[in-house]
Amino acid sequence: MGLRKNKKVMRSFLPKNKNVMGIFLPKNKKGIEILHNTLVFILLNIVFFAVMFGFVSRAGSGATTVEQVYAKQIALIIDQAKPGTSVSLNIEEVYELADKNKFSRGGVIRIDNNENKVYVQVDEGRGYSYNFFNSQEIVWELKNRELFLEVKLKNE
């Protein structure tokens, strides 16, 4: 009964002229079925490609690479520096990623003088660390969009 009622309702919505109906309801139902299957399949493939390319492009400019680049860059700067050297490094890119991931700006870069390690983190639960072999004391500070580094003699 319910089905008949539905059909009635549908008929009232559809135009009475059969020629006009033909526009909306093509005769070859099997063809439509094949077309639908193919369309769905193609759409799924497009989604898959979009995800794949998204992943690849993110891998290039994403957090993992930025963390690695900055950790290694800072460690190399420290290794090369002689006592009395002051360096200021622009870390805008790190801040941008941290903001994107809603991670505190204060914790993006840490330099541990006891462990001789540089830590770079732009997201909760991830990060990258790199050792430096310079045994001098490293004084560091995050200010605005820059990291200030100062290499001091250990007993100074």
Give per-residue burial for 4-38: e unless 16+ CB within 10 Å, then b: eeeeeeeeeeeeeeeeeeeeeeeeeeeeeeeeeee
- Count of residues that interact with another protein, criterion CB under 8 A: 34
What would the x/- binding string for another protein be over residues 22 to 41, using CB under 8 A? ---------------x----
CA of 66: how far to CAs of 23, 87, 89, in Å? 55, 19, 14
Q: Whose Cβ is closer to another protein: residue 15's or residue 84's?
A: 84
Give per-residue burial for 87-113: e unless 16+ CB within 10 Å, then b: bebebeebbebbeeeebeeeebbebee
Q: Whose Cβ is closer to another protein: residue 6's or residue 90's?
A: 90
Distance in Å, CB of 12 to another protein, minimum: 36
With CA atoms as reference, report the closest residue to 117 among 135, 97, 101, 102.
135
Distance in Å, CB of 150 to another protein, minimum: 15
Stretch that binds another protein, among 1-9, 14-22, 128-136, 138-146 (CB under 8 A): 128-136
Residues numbered 50 to 89 that lie near another protein (CB under 8 A) are 52-53, 55-56, 59-60, 65, 68-69, 71-72, 76, 79-80, 83
Beta strand 109-112 with 137-143 is: unpaired
Q: Whose Cβ is closer to another protein: residue 6's or residue 104's?
A: 104
When binding is defined by CB under 8 A, the residue of 98, 111, 127, 140 that contacts another protein is: 127
